[in-house]
């Protein structure tokens, strides 16, 4: 999963991840810093500049 990713936003209305709804993260492209791991039943990764694990279900790969 290493590479550049952004938060998913569902078409029609923004009810994807919380960060996708915040103005400062709206167009943010993150760099993945780890391989995925399981956290309480969710697959998560570490993102550069973001504390803790971030659920991969809310991420999509982007070309930079």
Cβ-contact 52, 1 below 8 angstroms: no
Cβ-contact 37, 43 below 8 angstroms: yes
pLDDT tens per residue, range 1-34: 555 566 655 443 334 677 777 787 777 888 888 8
Higher-pLDDT residue of 38, 10 = 38
Higher-pLDDT residue of 61, 2 = 61
Cβ-contact 45, 36 below 8 angstroms: yes
Q: Domain tally for the chain?
A: 1
Note the pLDDT of residue 3.
55
For the purposes of burial, counting CB atoms within 10 Å of the CB of 59, is it exposed (0-12), middle (13-18) or buried (19 or more)? buried
For 52, the 3-state DSSP assignment is: coil
Q: Which domain holds residue 37?
A: 4-61
């Amino acid at each position: 999963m290493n590479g550049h990713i952004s938060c998913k936003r569902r078409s029609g209305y923004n009810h994807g991840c919380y960060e996708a709804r915040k103005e400062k993260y709206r167009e943010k492209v993150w760099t993945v810093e780890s391989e995925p791991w399981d956290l309480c039943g969710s697959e998560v990764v570490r993102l550069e500049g973001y504390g803790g694990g971030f659920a991969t279900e809310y991420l999509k790969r982007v070309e930079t």
